[in-house]
A and B are shown apart, each in its own frame.
Chain A
Amino acid sequence: MPAWQQVLLVLVYSSITALATGLGALPFLFVRDLSERAVAYANAVAAGLMLGASFGLIIEGSGHGAVQTLAGAGIGVVFILVAGRMLHHHGMDFGTITGAGAKQIFLIIAVMTVHSFSEGVAVGVAFGGGEALAALITIAIAVHNIPEGLAISAVMRPKGAGVLSCALWSVFSSLPQPLMAVPAFLFVEAFRPVLPYGLGFAAGAMVFMVFLELLPEAYEKASRPAVGLLVSLTLGAMILFQRYI
C-alpha cells in the first residue's frame, strides 16, 4: 500500500474516533438529564478500557525493547503532567464541574481537547504497531471518547445547550486526534526504532490520565465498590478483547 493511502487510512480512522465522541450526546435525546453517578460510571468504564489498552501497549512495546517502552511511558506521563499543570495555573480545575456555568462549559471542553492530543498520538503510533493493534486502539479510543462526550454533554445540556450543540462540541474536543495521529504515524514509520518509545508514550499518557482525571472524578460521584468493579472488570474484558481480536 502506498504511504499516502496509509496516511489517508490513519486520517479516516482517527476521524472516526473523533466522531465517536459526538455519540456521547445521544443519551440526551432520550433523557432530559443524566445523573452525575451515571457520568462517574462512564468515567470508570473509560478508565478500565484505557488501563487495558495501556497493558497491551506495554506488552507490545516490551517486544521491541522494554527499557525504551518505559522511557517512552515516562515521557508520556511528563507530557500530561505539564499539560495538566499549565491548565491548573490558568485556574482550570476539572473537579468543580458540578453547578457549572458557561465558564465551566468552556473549561471542560478545553481540558478534553488537550487530552485528545495524546489520544491522537496513541492512534497514530498504534498504526505503526500493526493493523490489528491499530484497529484495537481505534476502537478503544473511540469507545473511550463516548463517555468523554457524555461528560461534556452532561455539563452543557443542563445549562440549556441543544443536543446538536453538545455533540458538535464533543467532536470538536476530539479534533486534535486526527491532527496528531497523522504526524505521529509518519514519525513512527520514518523512525522504526522509536516505536517502543511511542507505544510507551501512549501507554504512559493514558495511565496518567486515568489516575489524574478519570478515577478521582469517578470516586467523587460513585461508590467505591461500583468504581472498583467497573474498572477491574472492564480492564479484564479489554485484555481478553485484545487477545482475541
Chain B
Amino acid sequence: MAGERRALYLEARSRPRPVGEPEGYARGSAIIPADPVLVVLLFSTLAAATASAGVVPFAVLGRVPMRALGLAYALASGLMLGAGYLLLEAGLKDSAQSAFVLMSGAALGVLYTYWIHRFSRTEEVEFIPGGEVSAELGFKIVLMNSLHSASEGVAIGAGMAVSLRMGIFLALSLALHNIAEAATLTSVLLRRGVRMGEAAMLCVITNVPQILLAVTAFAVVSAARGLLTWVLGFAAGALVYLVLTELLPGSYKQASHTWVAAAVSLSTGLVVLLKGFFA
C-alpha cells in the first residue's frame, strides 16, 4: 500500500510541466482569443462585473433578511476556501519547486493580509453590520471590499498561469463569490442612503482591483515562471486568511452555526467536485 502511494506520488512529481507558457491557450482558437493577457482581462472583468448582480435581491424583494446575508457569506466563504484548495493543490503538483516554497508563499499571503488589516485599522470591522451604519463604518467596508478583491485578482492571475481551464474555473467561482459579497455591500450602502444604481456601480468599482491584480499577477508569473509557486501560495494564504477574518466571523453573527457550517462545507465541496469535471 505504501509502495502504491509512493508510485502515485512519484508519478505526480514526474508529470511534465509546461515551461514558458501556460497550457490550454490554443493560438487562434475560434472561441478563445489568441492573446492570453486578453483572456485574463476578459474573465477577471467578467468576475468583477458579476458583482453588480448583488443588488438584484434588493431590487426584487426590497429587503433581504440579515440571516440570508449571513448564509450567502458562508456560501461565499466556501467558494473561496475551494479556490484556496485548488491553488494549493496546483502548487503541490509543481515539480520545480518544493512544498516549502508554496507554504512560504502562503505565509506571505497570510502576513500581507494581516498587515493590510492592521494598517487600514479594519481588523475588527463588522462586515455584515445590523442596524444603523455610520459613515466611517460604510467607508471602511467599501475599503475592505476593495482590498479584499485585490487578493482574488492574484488568485485568478495565478490560476490562469497554471492553465486556461483552471483560470476560468477560478474566475467563475470568484464571480459567484462576488455576488454574495456585493449583496452585503449593497445592504450597507442602501442603509447609507445610496441609490440602487449607484450601489450596483460601487459593487463593481470595489472589484476593479481584482482586474488589475489578475492581469499583473499573470504578467509577472508569465515573465518569471519560477515565481508561479510563490504566487499560488500567496493567493491561497491570502484567501484562507480573508475567509477566517472577514467572512466567517460575520456569518456566525448573522446565521446559526449549523447552517453556516453546512453552507461552507457544501460550497467548498462543490468547488472541489466541479473542478474534477471542469479543470
Contacts and interface: CB of A to CB of B under 8 A. Distances in A.
Interface stretch (B36-44, B148-156, B167-175, B241-249): B241-249
B93 to A, nearest CB: 10
B262 interface: yes
A235 B99 contact: no
A4 interface: no
Interface residues of B, number: 41
A223 interface: yes
Interface stretch (A67-75, A104-112, A150-158): A67-75
Contacts of A59: 89, 92
A240 B100 contact: yes
Nearest to A224: B245
A131 B258 contact: no
Contacts of A70: 269, 272-273
B244 A243 contact: no
A3 B118 CA distance: 56
Main secondary structure of the interface of B (DSSP, over half): helix
A233 interface: yes
Interface stretch (A15-23, A117-125, A161-169, A204-212): A204-212
B105 to A, nearest CB: 10
A229 B114 contact: yes
B260 A211 contact: yes
B38 to A, nearest CB: 32
Interface size classification for chain A? 35 or more
Contacts, number: 118
B265 A225 contact: no
B245 A227 contact: yes
Contact of A228 (B4, B99, B241): B241
A59 to B, nearest CB: 7
A232 B241 contact: yes
A35 to B, nearest CB: 19
A84 to B, nearest CB: 6
A194 B220 CA distance: 44
B117 A225 contact: yes
B106 A236 contact: yes
Nearest to B125: A224
Given A88-B258, A215-B244, 10 more contacts: A58-B272, A77-B265, A81-B262, A95-B257, A130-B4, A219-B248, A224-B123, A224-B249, A225-B123, A240-B99
